[in-house]
Homo-oligomer: A and B are copies of this chain.
Amino acid sequence: MSDIGFEIDARLKKLVEEMKKKGLRVTIQRLAIASTVFEKIKGHPSFMDVLEEVRKRTPGVSTSTVYNTLQLMEKLGFITSFSYRGETHYDQPHPHVNVVCMDTGKIIDLPEDRDVLQLLEKKGVKVKTVVVYGYCEASGPG
């Protein structure tokens, strides 16, 4: 469990601890999937994005294993997800504001979102994540 070829970032380390604590198995596949997800999560990857990237690195991993692992990671609170245009997108678990451009399909995190979150919380909303559907600079509604 020391030389497996992955960068062990803090989240991965914590996930592994968490899995062990719960008697869940730390498999090669789960490590490959988790490290991929942590690396790509800022880009709001879709399920297929994750699957493809995992397979680039570790060929042969199955759809269901990726699916199961993503569900596990979500249940353990390491990622969140939301759906856009019929696809599931994975995202960082801390409350923040995503902006989706309905023209380009791009999804970015709003840089300074603390005030938005605070305003929502002040209104009694327990925020997990926020998705703003709109248009980016270059494009307009229609």
Contact = CB atoms under 8 A, between A and B. Distances in A.
B131 A127 contact: no
A73 interface: no
Q: How many copies of the chain does the oligomer comprise? A: 2
Contacts of A110: 120, 123, 125
Contact of A131 (B102, B115, B131): B131
Interface residues of A, number: 35
B132 A120 contact: yes
A142 B77 CA distance: 9
A109 to B, nearest CB: 12
A71 to B, nearest CB: 14
9 contacts: A77-B142, A80-B133, A82-B84, A86-B86, A116-B119, A125-B134, A126-B141, A130-B132, A131-B133
Given A99-B125, A128-B134, 9 more contacts: A82-B131, A82-B133, A83-B86, A86-B86, A110-B120, A112-B123, A116-B123, A126-B134, A130-B130
